A and B are shown apart, each in its own frame.
Chain A
Amino acid sequence: MLVYVVGILVTGVWLFLLSQGLGSSDILQTLTQIATLPETKSLHNFIEVATPHLFAMATLIFVVAHFMLFSTKISQRFSLRFSVLLFIVALLNILAYILIIFGVVVSGWIKLLLLALFVLLFLLLLGMVAFSL
């Protein structure tokens, strides 16, 4: 199951980078481009991506995090706080692009930061589950 989640995260990040122009430039160039001037998206595009992700990311976090209930090595309180933090970061990550669409921020650093934070936290959760089981 943990390998499946890693696969989902990798393909998800890859898809995001492709939508930002990874196909025609290298990864560093793409990251710089996202940070300085991200691809323009319509509200329709945003909703099309955000809607399935709200369901999918929440259920995925729920399924992975519920294994921490069986853990005897990591406290339930820590698992609870970590899971809530991951839920919040996932929600902010999904909604980050709306700030770019409405022109609240011009650069895409916030989306990059939240995406990196989400992937890092999720990988940590997977590590915690692997360590516990």
Chain B
Amino acid sequence: MKFLVTKDLAHSTLLGNLMAGVSVALFFYLGLDTVLHAYVIGSDMLSITNTLYGNVEEFIEPILLDSLLLQVHIDLFMSLFSIMIISSIYIRLYSDKSVTKWLMHMLFILGLLAPLFLMVAYFTSIGFVYAWLVCFGLGHLLGMGMSLRIIKKLLFK
């Protein structure tokens, strides 16, 4: 992401628009990713536990380890790239604010913990499902909030 920190934005409207464009796309990506996970894993506690642990009374089989691991594998990759792009643009625009560093740490930690807690929840107990929900929700909200701040700064100066 070196190009994002070395170019002076005041002299390059193209770079500014490119950064705004990718931020808009990432804002919608994070929103749709939440919807996708609601479809795949579940949108409420009952459907999430049915997906992860199955339900004997309703003859629902738990999700296969292969499928869950594939989801986590893809989630880690997509989180890494989306978070890296958002954070490098955010640092470029808000490096003078002291809260930026903490927001970066929060975003990276939440993005990493979410798939980790999902795997732990699958092997252990329902308690980690709550931890996954909190990390996933907060991480996505934080990413969307940061994308909005980037868009606001770039398009509505």
A residues apposed to B, CB below 8 Å: 1, 3-5, 7-8, 11-12, 14-15, 18-19, 23, 56, 59-60, 63, 66, 69-70
Contacts and interface: CB of A to CB of B under 8 A. Distances in A.
Interface stretch (B7-15, B64-72, B94-102, B131-139): B64-72
B66 A60 contact: no
Interface string B68-105: 01101100110111001000000000000000000000
Contacts of B79: 4
Contacts of B116: 7
A35 to B, nearest CB: 21
Contacts of B69: 11, 14-15, 18
Contact of A5 (B2, B66, B80): B80
Most chain A C-beta atoms within 10 Å of own C-beta, residue among B65, B73, B81: B73
Given A7-B112, A7-B116, A23-B65, A15 B77 contact: no
List 9 tightest A-B contacts by C-beta distance, closest first. A11-B73, A4-B80, A7-B76, A8-B76, A18-B66, A15-B69, A11-B72, A8-B77, A11-B69
A48 B70 CA distance: 13
Interface residues of B, number: 18
Contacts of A3: 112
Interface of B: 2, 65-66, 69-70, 72-73, 76-77, 79-81, 84, 108, 111-112, 115-116
30 contacts: A1-B84, A1-B108, A3-B112, A4-B76, A4-B80, A4-B108, A4-B111, A4-B112, A7-B76, A7-B112, A7-B115, A7-B116, A8-B77, A8-B80, A11-B72, A11-B73, A11-B76, A14-B69, A15-B66, A15-B69, A15-B70, A18-B65, A18-B66, A59-B81, A60-B77, A60-B80, A63-B84, A66-B2, A69-B2, A70-B2
A19 B66 contact: yes
Nearest to A4: B80
Contacts of A18: 65-66, 69
Nearest to B87: A1
Nearest to B108: A1
B118 to A, nearest CB: 11
Contacts of B81: 59, 63
A69 B1 CA distance: 11
A14 B115 CA distance: 15
Given A1-B80, A4-B79, A5-B80, A15 B73 contact: yes
A8 B73 contact: yes
Nearest to B109: A3
Contacts of A4: 76, 79-80, 108, 111-112
Contacts of A60: 77, 80
